[in-house]
Chains A and B, each alone.
Chain A
Amino acid sequence: MLSVDPGSVPAAGVPASPPVFASAPLLRVEGLCRSFGGLLAVDDVSFSVMPGQIKAVIGPNGAGKTTVFNIISGILRPDSGRILFSDVPIAGLPPFRVGELGISRTFQNLSLFPNMTAIENVMVGCHCRTCCGVVASVLRLPRHYREERAIRDAAEKHLAAVGMADKAGVSVASLPFGQRRLVELARALATQPRLLLLDEPASGLNTRETGDLARIIRQVRDTGVTVLLVEHDMSLVMDVSDSILVLNYGKPVTEGPPAEIRNDPQVISVYLGGDFGSAAD
């Protein structure tokens, strides 16, 4: 089961109301910088995410959102800055360690294992919470069978949670794009994260699928998982998030609840009245 910090779970009946945060931040990012050649992709970014929160990071293309995610998940090293995950410094750790500690993610351009079925992809997600090694598998020890059954059950449960139970045996290469996004989400959930990073989960989805996604994201949060979300679809962002951080050219512009961000003149000028204005209505 997902490990749940009892103090951090918002009441299940009222997901829409902003939860009250009594405890310390789950994730704290301080003074994060990262450049590529001469380009400062992330420039002194600081923010924190409270447990049980759904926090969105928005900003125009190239604002550095994915780079922030890559640094948090260990794929990129920061040039400077600190990242504390429940007070443990994680900046510079390899991705698998970050994953073990309880941060999982999805990828902007999808990164499923195309040589595997949907359920196998999700079963890979169970890897870091299980332990059978080479010897147990080769000798087919009883605990191999026991663990394989547990892994399959958990994977089925996570596929069902995103509404993909009936596609378990299908190769992901033959799934439509929207369903691949859901499998990737299920795979991330299978690592039993405490913090889930979603990089543009709604891109490529139609309106109905985006609506389903919003529901799933809230459900995930209600099971005790904190969510950090990068997204261009403003209706989704305004719909689900408790707090929004706006980045522009790698720098934080402002941060606040959706109602504030919606009317912030700075934010509106960043988006130059693009799709932001219409979506905010």
Chain B
Amino acid sequence: MLSGVAFVATVVGLQLLTAATGRGYYLTQLTMAAYYTTVVMGLCLVMGYAGQISLGHGAFFAIGGYTSAYLTTLDLSGWAAKGVGLTLRKAGVLVARQDLYGGECLGVTPWLAFAAAVCLTAAVAFVIGYPALRLKGHYLAMATLGFGLIVYRLVLGTERLGGADGISSVPAWKILPGLDVCGRSVCRIQNYYVAFALAGLTLFMVLNLVNSRTGRALRSIHGGELAANAMGINTAQYKLKVFLISAVIAAVAGCLMTHYNGAIGPSESGAMKSVRYVALVAAGGMANVWGALVVGGALEFLSLRGCFGSADHAVFGLILILIVALVPEGPLRPLGRGVVRLFRAVTGRAGA
């Protein structure tokens, strides 16, 4: 409850701050950072709690984004003139949009594209996760690494997915009347709130999940898979379940961000993107959803603002190495302890 208030206050506060300082354009990067950090929180569930490493979350993000981009940018006008197409159009499954030259074309409604993206991602995650998660050890890391590379090559080499250019002119997604997920600057503030609503919802869901019977089961798998199994926990099923949930969260974020940007490119599915998510979970403190949110949000924002320059990917790699080598529990907890100690020292001296 209190944490929910803190989250909303921070989000609103940030928006007011950008407005007050005349830096409204920061909202664009904050919005994208919110989508990326949503992926990080979802991955936190798999990595921090169940102790499984996924190097395929960039690919799931991309599958979500590319599925919506592909379906919503189809032109079905010819086919939709008669028969089934006409019925579908009446039912709202096909919607009209303007193409680049002002002509009208018919594409799949973003809602259906979204549903397809979620289903496809869940199916793919099942196919990857089912065999890999029945085994103990880091098979998921290997399987998802290979899978990520395949997805990257596929989107790069597929003409219909735009190859190296990706898919652009993805239409707006009218979530509610007057609420469009799109990149037009008049929609900047509402999109900022849409993105953080998704991040907040994910935070709420993930926190509820980890503080429950399921969360204990996941942590027990991390703590000792064999013992967890002997205590009556179907470890393979739990790992698969949480991997699916996490993959779908990534796809939802990918889908929304694609509509927000109006485009998606192959770099989203790159191996470095997946490594970056892993680095951010580690930097957040592994089994720490708030840490994932705060550290993930902050570093993605800085990265999107271009603060790391051409060393962007290297910075995240370095963070991962430093954390593993120096502070395996993540920097936040030791930092917190340091602050507490400092506070005690200061107040202690003041009292003396």
Contacts and interface: CB of A to CB of B under 8 A. Distances in A.
Chain B binds chain A: yes
Nearest to B49: A115
A144 interface: yes
Given A113-B224, A127-B217, A96 B209 contact: no
Among B211, B212, B213, B235, the most chain A Cβ lie within 10 Å of the Cβ of: B213
A116 B245 contact: no
Contacts of B185: none
A95 B230 CA distance: 5
Nearest to A193: B232
A147 interface: yes
A252 B226 CA distance: 28
Interface in A78-126: 94-96, 98-100, 104-105, 107, 111-116, 120-121, 123-125
Given A116-B220, A124-B233, A127-B231, A137 B226 contact: no
A132 interface: yes
B234 interface: yes
B49 to A, nearest CB: 10
Contact of B227 (A107, A123, A134): A107
A113 B223 contact: yes
A133 B245 CA distance: 13
Chain A contact residues: over half helix, strand or loop, or mixed? helix
Nearest to A140: B208
Contacts of B217: 124, 127
A148 B213 CA distance: 7
B232 A96 contact: yes
Given A116-B223, A127-B217, A151-B213, A191 B241 contact: no
A131 B209 CA distance: 14
Nearest to B206: A138
B201 to A, nearest CB: 10
A3 to B, nearest CB: 15
Contacts of B97: none
Interface of B: 205, 208-209, 211-217, 219-220, 222-224, 226-235, 241, 245, 287
Interface of A: 73-75, 94-96, 98-100, 104-105, 107, 111-116, 120-121, 123-125, 127-130, 132-134, 136-140, 144, 147-148, 151, 187-188, 191
13 contacts: A73-B230, A74-B230, A94-B229, A99-B230, A116-B223, A123-B216, A124-B216, A125-B231, A127-B232, A137-B211, A137-B215, A138-B205, A187-B231
